[in-house]
Chains A and B, each alone.
Chain A
């Protein structure tokens, strides 16, 4: 593959996913500047590793690089231990299955949803974003996050339950205390 062919192929298969790359980076870093840095670095990494791209799941392939780049940046910048205590922090999200009356209160207020999503631990947030915003299949999410299918399934399920719970309890102090 000549460098010109490589560039053409890259611009055809990878570049169109820039929007998704930015969205994911933004939701992972919560910062416009960090998201742009992450995406730029991820694109450079993707381009230099493009020979290893097998031609399928271009979006998932790129997003996996974005994800790793973002996690590296977060670790470096904030020495983030976020990912370590995830599992514990959402240990039992399903437990109180909300009754019909309660769940009618689920808030579709955009800012509430944004806040809820931001509060969601990052592995779960990531799965939800990849599924709901990017429309990836479970298999693609597994590729992106580098986890088995079963983990994708459980993260999505628990992440949604967690969101549902928060949104149907918008008066709960934990949400209100969170700075916007």
Chain B
């Protein structure tokens, strides 16, 4: 098999992951697939820059996320919850029985900042190592680790999973206590 044919086969194999990563960033399926399409076009235009034997997934994910942030800066079209769907859904808090409806999870996930969504997806879902995620995001491994922690904490709050702390007080009462001590 030629190198180009092998490259093509690898791209086809990675397409589902590329789409899933794009969806985590863009949320809207059509926009996410536009991102993937642009990524493929850029990858093919720059195929000579890819070194065979190196990490194709990281290369593609990097192109995709850079393109996403570039588009985001240009258009500023990502206005969260423009139609109020989040507020409507989250008016009913998730069950506190240790499970969360997947749709509720997705709604909460989309409330995260893009850099939080991307690290959670890379490390938590796509199987990237911290090192690979750092390479894709162009930052230090330590930055990825702390970003993952902050993202997880934020998501925990959004999902209402941290309703009770060690004091046994529900979060509302805890907030009152916290405020009182300021």
Indicate whether A and B interact. Answer: no
**B residues touching A (Cβ–Cβ < 8 Å)?**
none
**A residues touching B (Cβ–Cβ < 8 Å)?**
none
